[in-house]
C-alpha cells in the first residue's frame, strides 16, 4: 500500500492513512532509503516530524560508509544495530514535546485587584478621580515635584502683591508707573540671561574636528598598508584590538553552532471563502436554500475539476510572484499542483482554497528540502583524515556579498576548531584584497593564537592585483597542504553571467583546482534575475570546462535575507532551477549573522497573506 502511494513528483504528500492507522515517511534519494513511522490515527503526536528527521539523519550518518561501498540493495539481507539509538531519539522527541507546560491561571490572591481596599474604590462628589499608577510612576513623581515647586512660588508672588499694594497707597501715580516699568524690565533681563546662558558653553570649542568611526583607528601608521608585510605572501596579519561585541553581534549564542532560520508567523485563523463556479450565476432561494448550498460546497461530495481550481490557482500564482518568486516558476508550480489535485475527492468540510493551499505548501517544502544534504563540517573532518585541505570556491555576480559571507563562514569554521586559509583570487576589483585583509585582522583579534595553543587560525594568501586567479588558487591550496591548514576558502571576482571571457576564467579556475564545494552566492532581493543567473552560470561552467563531466554549482549561499521581510521567493526560484541545496543564509553584517535554511519557516513567510 505504501509503495503505491509514494509520490512520483516533487511536492507530494508524505503521509498515508489506512483505516485506523497513519503512516508518515521520508525519502532519501541519494541512498534510495525510505524511513516510515506508523501510529494510530486518533493520536495527535506533534513530534512525529522531528522523530523521522532525527532517525533519518542518525541512521544515514551511522551507516554511510556501508551504503557507499555496497549500496542499499547490497544490504537488504543485513542487520542494523539501531534499536538503542532509535529509543534514545524517541525519548528525546517525546521530551521535546513536553517542554512547554500549560499556563496556569492566577489566583485572586496573586492578582492586583486583591491588594486594593474598599475605601480606595469609593468616589465622592467634588473630588477628582485618582490617576492610574500603573506604568506612570515616573510621571507622578515629576508632577509631585512640580507641584512642590509651584506652591512656594505662588506664596512668594502673593507676598509681593501685598507689599506692592501697601506701597501703592503711599506713592503717587507717576512713581507707581515708574516702579512698574523697572520691575518689568528687570524680569525680562533675567529671562534673557537664562535663555542665553547655555550658548557660551556650547561655543567654547570652536573649529571642525575629524569624525572617529566605530572600530576605527586614529593612528596613521596602522592605516598605512603601502609597505605591508602580508602583500604577496601568506604571513599572519597583525592582531588589532577592537570591541568584539560589535563585530560578533549576539552575545548569548552558542559558539560554533549554525542556528536555523526563524520566522514568526501570525497564527490567526483565516476565514476561507468557498469558491463558486463563475460560469453559473448564483440564485438566492431563501435562507434555508442558502444554508444547504453552503453545506453542499463544503461537504466532499464530488471530485475536484480544473474549473474549480483555476480561480484559486490564479490568485496563488499572483501571490507567489508578489513574494519574489520568478513568474515562470510560479506558473510551473501552480500547473504541477493542478495536475496532482485534478480528480481528487475532497475531504469532509474542506474548501477548494484550503485544499489547493495545503498542496502548494507541501510542494514548496519538498522543493526546499535538498535531494543531497551538504554537511560541511563532516566533509572537512573527512578531508582531515586524508591529510588534505577542504577547498571551497565562492562565485557569483557583482555586489552580492561574496567576501562578507566568506568571512562569516571563516568565523563559523574557526569556532568549530578548524584553521582557515583565505585565498584572495579577486585580482580585479579595487580594494578586494584590503577587504579580506581587514577581515583576517578582525578574525585573528577574536580568536588570537594564545587561545588555540599558539596556532594562527586564519591567514590570508594574496599576490596583489592583475594576476591569474587560477594560479593563485593553486598556490594557495599547495601552501595550505604544506602548512597543515584544514580549509581553503577561495574568493573570486564578481562577474555577470553574460560576460564570456570572465566566465571562461571561472570555469578554468574550477577545472584546474577541482574544489570540494562550489558555492553560488546570490542575494535574496532578486526575482526573475535569479533564474537567469543560475542557468547561465551552470551553462558557462559546462561549456567552458575541458573535462568530460564538467563541475557545476554544488550549493547556494543566500545573502541579504534580513532586507526582504517576507518576500522570500528567491529561495524557491534558486532551488527549483538547480535542485541544489541552500547551504548558508546571510542575515546581517556581523560574523554570527549566518543561518542554515529552515524550509518550513521560509514557506510560512511565503504563504503569509
Tell me, what's the pLDDT at 417? Answer: 92
Residue range 353-396, pLDDT digits in tens: 888 899 999 999 988 887 777 889 999 999 999 999 999 999 99
Q: What are 544's three cell numbers?
A: 567552458
Residue range 25-69, pLDDT digits in tens: 887 777 778 888 888 877 777 788 888 888 888 888 888 777 777
Q: Does residue 6 have a pLDDT over 80?
A: no
- Nearest CA to 489 out of 440, 545, 424 is that of 424
Tell me, what's the pLDDT at 419? Answer: 94
* Rounded mean pLDDT, 285-299: 45
- Residue appearing with cell numbers 499556563: 103
Q: Does residue 587 have a pLDDT over 50?
A: yes
Which of 112-116, 215-219, 344-348, 440-444 bottoms out in mean pLDDT, i.e. has the lowest?
215-219
Beta bridge partners of 519: 394, 555
Tell me, what's the pLDDT at 360? Answer: 92
Q: What are 232's three cell numbers?
A: 604577496
Q: What are 315's three cell numbers?
A: 490568485
- Nearest CA to 408 out of 394, 397, 398, 396 is that of 394
Sign of CA dihedral 457, 463, 464, 465: negative
Beta bridge partners of 490: 393, 423
Pairwise CA distance, residues 394 & 404, whole Å: 11
* DSSP conformation letters of 271-332: PPPPPPPTTSPP---HHHHHHHHHHHHHS--SB--HHHHHHHHHHHHHHHHHTT--HHHHHH
- Nearest CA to 23 out of 33, 31, 13, 11 is that of 13
- Residue appearing with cell numbers 576564467: 505
Tell me, what's the pLDDT at 588? Answer: 87
**Which phi-psi region, left, alpha or beta, contains residue 134 (left: φ > 0; alpha: ψ -120 to 50)?**
beta
* Rounded mean pLDDT, 294-304: 56
Q: Does residue 599 have a pLDDT over 80?
A: yes
Which of 125-139, 460-474, 536-550 bottoms out in mean pLDDT, i.e. has the lowest?
125-139
Q: What are 226's three cell numbers?
A: 603601502
* Rounded mean pLDDT, 291-296: 45
User: Measured between alpha carbons, how far is residue 482 from residues 380, 389, 393, 421, 486 in Å?
Assistant: 17, 10, 20, 12, 11
Pairwise CA distance, residues 431 & 433, whole Å: 6
- Nearest CA to 402 out of 275, 249, 480, 506 is that of 506
Pairwise CA distance, residues 462 & 470, whole Å: 12
* Rounded mean pLDDT, 325-331: 90
Q: Does residue 179 have a pLDDT over 60?
A: yes
Residue range 537-581, pLDDT digits in tens: 888 888 877 777 788 899 999 999 888 888 888 889 888 888 888
As a whole-number percent, the residues of the chain with pLDDT over 70 amount to 68
- Nearest CA to 511 out of 478, 544, 558 is that of 544
Tell me, what's the pLDDT at 530? Answer: 77
If you count them, how many residues does the chain have?
609
**Rounded to 5 degrees, what are φ and ψ at 25?**
-140, 160
Residue range 144-177, pLDDT digits in tens: 444 444 444 444 444 444 444 444 445 677 778 7
**Which phi-psi region, left, alpha or beta, contains residue 207 (left: φ > 0; alpha: ψ -120 to 50)?**
left
Pairwise CA distance, residues 604 & 57, whole Å: 24
Q: Report the chain's terminal Cα–Cα distance, integer Å.
A: 37
Q: Does residue 322 have a pLDDT over 70?
A: yes
Residue range 20-31, pLDDT digits in tens: 788 888 877 777
Q: In the sheet where 15-18 sits, what is the strand order? A: 15-18, 21-28, 33-40
Beta bridge partners of 480: none
Q: Does residue 410 have a pLDDT over 50?
A: yes
* Rounded mean pLDDT, 512-536: 87
Tell me, what's the pLDDT at 480? Answer: 95
Task: Determine contact, residues 560/360, Cβ cutoff 8 Å.
Answer: no
Element containing residue 458 per DSSP (H, E): strand 458-461
Beta bridge partners of 25: 36
Local structure of 487: helix, strand or coil: strand
Q: Does residue 202 have a pLDDT over 60?
A: no
Local structure of 28: helix, strand or coil: strand
Tell me, what's the pLDDT at 105? Answer: 74
Q: pTM (2 decimals)?
A: 0.58
Residue 529 or residue 348, greater confidence: 529
Residue 542 or residue 209, greater confidence: 542
Task: Determine contact, residues 357/31, Cβ cutoff 8 Å.
Answer: no
Which of 85-99, 253-267, 584-598 has the highest average model confidence (pLDDT)? 584-598
User: What's the mean per-residue pLDDT of the chain?
Assistant: 75
Amino acid at each position: 500500500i505504501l509503495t503505491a502511494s509514494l509520490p512520483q513528483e516533487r511536492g507530494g504528500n508524505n503521509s498515508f492513512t489506512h483505516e485506523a492507522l497513519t503512516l508518515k515517511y521520508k525519502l532519501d534519494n541519494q541512498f534510495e532509503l525510505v524511513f516510515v513511522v506508523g501510529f494510530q490515527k486518533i493520536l495527535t503526536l506533534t513530534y512525529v516530524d522531528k522523530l523521522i528527521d532525527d532517525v533519518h539523519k542518525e541512521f544515514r550518518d551511522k551507516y554511510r560508509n556501508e551504503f557507499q561501498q555496497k549500496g542499499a540493495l547490497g544490504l537488504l539481507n543485513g542487520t542494523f544495530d539501531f534499536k538503542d539509538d532509535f529509543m534514545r531519539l524517541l525519548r528525546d522527541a517525546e521530551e521535546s514535546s513536553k517542554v512547554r507546560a500549560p499556563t496556569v491561571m492566577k489566583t485572586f490572591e496573586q492578582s492586583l485587584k486583591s491588594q486594593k481596599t474598599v475605601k480606595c474604590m469609593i468616589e465622592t462628589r467634588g473630588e477628582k478621580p485618582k490617576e492610574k499608577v500603573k506604568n506612570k510612576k515616573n510621571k507622578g513623581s515629576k508632577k509631585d515635584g512640580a507641584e512642590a515647586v509651584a506652591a512656594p512660588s505662588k506664596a512668594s508672588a502673593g507676598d509681593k502683591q501685598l507689599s506692592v499694594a501697601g506701597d501703592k497707597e503711599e506713592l503717587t501715580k507717576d512713581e507707581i508707573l515708574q516702579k512698574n516699568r523697572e520691575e518689568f524690565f528687570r524680569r525680562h533681563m533675567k529671562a534673557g540671561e537664562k535663555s542665553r546662558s547655555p550658548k557660551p558653553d556650547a561655543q567654547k570649542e570652536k573649529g571642525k574636528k575629524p569624525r572617529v568611526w566605530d572600530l576605527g583607528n586614529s593612528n596613521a601608521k596602522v592605516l598605512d598598508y603601502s609597505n605591508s608585510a602580508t602583500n604577496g605572501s601568506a604571513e599572519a596579519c597583525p592582531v588589532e584590538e577592537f570591541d568584539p561585541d560589535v563585530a560578533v553581534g549576539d552575545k548569548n549564542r552558542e559558539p560554533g553552532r549554525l542556528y536555523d532560520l526563524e520566522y514568526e508567523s501570525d497564527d490567526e485563523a483565516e476565514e476561507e471563502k468557498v469558491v463558486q463556479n463563475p460560469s453559473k450565476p448564483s440564485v438566492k432561494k431563501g435562507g434555508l436554500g442558502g444554508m444547504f448550498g453552503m453545506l453542499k460546497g463544503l461537504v466532499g461530495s464530488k471530485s475536484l475539476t480544473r474549473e474549480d481550481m483555476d480561480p484559486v490557482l490564479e490568485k496563488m500564482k499572483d501571490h507567489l510572484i508578489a513574494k519574489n518568486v520568478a513568474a515562470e516558476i510560479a506558473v510551473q508550480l501552480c500547473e504541477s499542483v493542478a495536475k496532482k489535485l485534478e480528480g481528487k475527492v475532497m475531504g469532509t468540510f474542506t474548501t477548494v482554497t484550503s485544499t489547493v493551499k495545503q498542496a502548494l505548501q507541501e510542494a514548496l517544502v519538498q522543493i526546499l528540502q535538498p535531494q543531497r544534504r551538504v554537511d560541511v563540517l563532516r566533509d572537512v573532518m573527512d578531508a582531515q583524515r586524508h591529510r588534505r585541505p577542504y577547498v571551497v570556491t565562492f562565485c557569483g555576480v557583482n555586489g552580492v556579498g561574496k567576501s562578507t559571507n566568506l568571512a562569516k563562514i571563516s568565523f563559523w569554521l574557526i569556532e568549530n576548531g578548524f584553521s582557515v586559509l583565505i585565498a584572495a583570487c579577486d585580482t580585479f576589483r579595487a580594494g578586494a584584497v584590503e577587504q579580506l585583509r581587514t577581515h583576517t585582522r578582525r578574525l585573528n583579534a577574536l580568536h588570537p593564537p594564545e587561545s588555540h595553543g599558539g596556532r594562527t587560525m586564519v591567514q590570508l594568501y594574496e599576490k596583489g592585483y592583475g594576476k591569474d586567479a587560477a594560479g593563485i588558487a593553486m598556490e594557495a591550496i599547495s601552501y595550505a597542504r604544506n602548512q597543515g591548514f584544514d580549509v581553503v576558502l577561495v574568493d573570486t571576482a564578481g562577474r555577470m553571467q553574460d560576460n564570456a571571457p570572465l566566465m571562461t576564467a571561472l570555469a578554468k579556475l574550477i577545472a584546474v583546482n577541482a574544489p570540494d564545494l562550489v558555492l553560488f552566492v546570490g542575494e535574496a532581493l532578486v526575482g526573475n534575475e535569479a533564474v537567469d543567473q543560475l542557468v547561465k552560470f551552470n551553462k558557462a561552467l559546462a561549456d567552458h570546462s575541458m573535462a568530460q563531466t564538467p563541475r557545476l554549482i554544488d550549493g547556494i549561499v543566500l545573502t541579504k535575507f534580513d532586507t526582504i521581510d517576507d518576500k522570500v521567493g528567491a529561495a524557491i526560484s534558486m532551488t527549483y532551477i538547480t535542485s541544489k541545496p541552500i547551504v548558508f543564509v546571510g542575515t546581517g553584517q556581523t560574523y554570527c549573522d549566518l543561518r542554515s535554511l529552515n524550509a518550513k519557516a521560509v514557506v510560512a513567510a511565503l504563504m503569509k497573506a
